[in-house]
């Protein structure tokens, strides 16, 4: 990071950026600075071609034969292994299927089943809400169990883990603040107490190195439409450590998880491996879009992604605080870079209105109630010049109070 933050210095950073050429693998509208890849990543040109080929040739011409001839049936496994490379998982432990919420339910239920004598789920009050909703769903099927929450029942999650704990459900990166947990340390703490851990890695997969195998993680779930750029509503994934696969029971025992799905047997006999964690027929068009999206990661190392991510977020914080002081912003993300994911959040009393004014001017971030503006930084397609420009626009919106126009206060269904 240059000591003097001039535009020339910023442009020099871009000139030296080894990930700079990767931007050409994505379709980004002219005049847009996209800082919302932590909600929905952009498309790549390869995706459009893949969707057309799948629809026109494989579906249109191959029809049902394409389940075999085009490899449709194995897509959840082959794509799972490709994602495994990005999250530190050896092949055979990750499968792409269903949604994040459904996979959380599967993982928590399976973990509780591996610790049947233990009645407690430990989670975060600040968790992404669907995690807690699905945990509540698991509790509703198990008499005498309960959930303890960091921030309600104790200040720190570590203080809640003891001999009663069956499973710890925890986010690697907090969806609102961007705070990063130490995955290896917390996993070890849970294991010392005899508990299992389910990690939600939605906000870290594709944003930073996630070493699931090295940290001895039990279960992990994540989505593919954020930093992995799989498209709106693209399927999620679930990781189950190989050591648990034979014994863990999948509660949503659909036919795709059967050891012999086309034997059409009347009772469920789960596959011995990761296939067991599938449920019903998977969406082929979405899987093909994800396949093409993952091509953008060819030749990319997660250490380089993390290095640029930290530089981008450091630069953004430094520029915002230098140019936007005294206009109501409060940093909500950790200032210490090692504790930060790939996003920066600022609070403002009129965060929704400010964000709408930014979006109208071509700087797209997002809002999280009640007062958080989130800015996601995806190193594969963002430049340092983008950060400079985004802060220029933010300063203009705040200093002129352009956000006060009444139209910016009208809430849309999706914020």
Alpha carbons 31 and 24: distance in angstroms, whole number: 15
Determine whether 264 is an active site residue. Answer: no
- CA 130 to CA 101: how far, in whole Å? 6
- Residue 24: partners with Cβ closer than 8 Å, 6 or more residues away: none
Nearest to 270 by CA among 245, 233, 304, 298: 245
**Active-site pick, 26, 34, 105, 128:** 128
Residues 202 and 224: their CA atoms lie apart, in Å, by 8
| Cβ-contact 126, 150 below 8 angstroms | yes
**Per-residue DSSP letter, 133:** H
| CA-only gyration radius of the chain, Å | 22
Q: Which of the residues 226, 275, 308, 340 is marked catalytic?
A: 226
Distance in angstroms (rounded) separating the CA atoms of residues 209 and 238: 17
**Contact by Cβ (8 Å): 77, 95:** yes
Q: 182 an active-site residue? A: no
CA atoms within 13 A on the CB side of 340: 26
Active-site choice (17, 36, 200, 366): 200
Is residue 287 within 8 Å of 76, Cβ to Cβ?
yes
The one catalytic residue among 105, 175, 219, 225: 225
Among the options 346, 374, 389, 408, which is catalytic? 374
Write down the H helix ranges in 223-267: 242-245
SS3 content of the chain, % helix, strand, coil (to 5): 40, 15, 45
The verdict on whether 408 is a catalytic residue reads no
User: Residue 370 is encoded by which pair of tokens?
Assistant: 């009640």
Q: Distance between CA 352 and CA 316 in Å, rounded?
A: 20
> Does 225 qualify as catalytic in the annotation?
yes
| Ramachandran angles phi, psi of 171, nearest 5° | -90, 135
Which tokens hold the place of 379?
């190193």
153 is catalytic: no
Catalytic residues: 128, 200, 225-226, 374
């Amino acid at each position: 990071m240059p000591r003097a933050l001039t535009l020339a210095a910023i442009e020099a950073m871009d000139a030296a950026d080894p990930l700079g050429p990767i931007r050409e693998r994505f379709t980004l509208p002219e005049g847009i600075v996209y800082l919302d890849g932590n909600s929905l990543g952009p498309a790549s040109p390869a995706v459009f071609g893949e969707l057309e080929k799948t629809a026109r040739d494989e579906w249109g011409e191959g029809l049902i034969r394409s389940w075999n001839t085009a490899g449709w049936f194995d897509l959840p496994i082959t794509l799972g292994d490709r994602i495994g490379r990005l999250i530190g998982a050896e092949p055979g432990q990750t499968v792409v299927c269903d949604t994040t919420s459904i996979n959380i339910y599967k993982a928590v239920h399976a973990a509780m089943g591996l610790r049947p004598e233990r009645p407690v789920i430990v989670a975060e009050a600040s968790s992404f809400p669907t995690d807690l909703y699905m945990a509540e769903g698991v509790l509703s099927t198990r008499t005498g169990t309960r959930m303890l929450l960091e921030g309600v029942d104790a200040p720190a999650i570590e203080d809640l883990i003891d001999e009663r704990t069956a499973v710890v459900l925890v986010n690697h990166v907090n969806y609102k603040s961007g705070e990063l947990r130490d995955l290896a340390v917390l996993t070890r703490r849970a294991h010392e107490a005899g508990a299992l851990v389910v990690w939600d890695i939605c906000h870290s997969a594709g944003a930073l190195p996630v070493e699931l195998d090295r940290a001895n993680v039990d279960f992990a779930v994540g989505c593919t439409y954020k930093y992995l750029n799989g498209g709106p509503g693209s399927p999620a994934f679930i990781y189950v450590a190989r050591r648990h696969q034979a014994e863990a029971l999948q509660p949503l025992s659909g036919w795709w998880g059967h050891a012999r799905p086309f034997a059409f047997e009347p009772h469920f006999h789960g596959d011995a491996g990761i296939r067991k964690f599938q449920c019903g027929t998977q969406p082929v068009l979405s899987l093909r879009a994800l396949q093409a999206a993952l091509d953008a990661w060819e030749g990319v190392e997660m250490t380089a992604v993390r290095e640029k991510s930290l530089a981008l977020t450091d630069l953004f914080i430094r520029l915002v605080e230098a140019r936007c002081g005294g206009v109501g912003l409060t940093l909500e993300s950790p200032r210490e870079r090692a504790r930060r994911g790939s996003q920066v959040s600022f609070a403002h009393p009129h965060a929704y209105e400010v964000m709408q004014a930014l979006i109208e001017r071509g700087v797209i971030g997002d809002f999280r109630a009640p007062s958080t503006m989130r800015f996601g930084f995806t190193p594969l397609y963002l430049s340092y010049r983008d950060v400079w420009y985004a802060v220029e626009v933010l300063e203009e919106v705040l200093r002129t109070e352009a956000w006060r126009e009444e139209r910016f206060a009208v809430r849309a269904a999706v914020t």
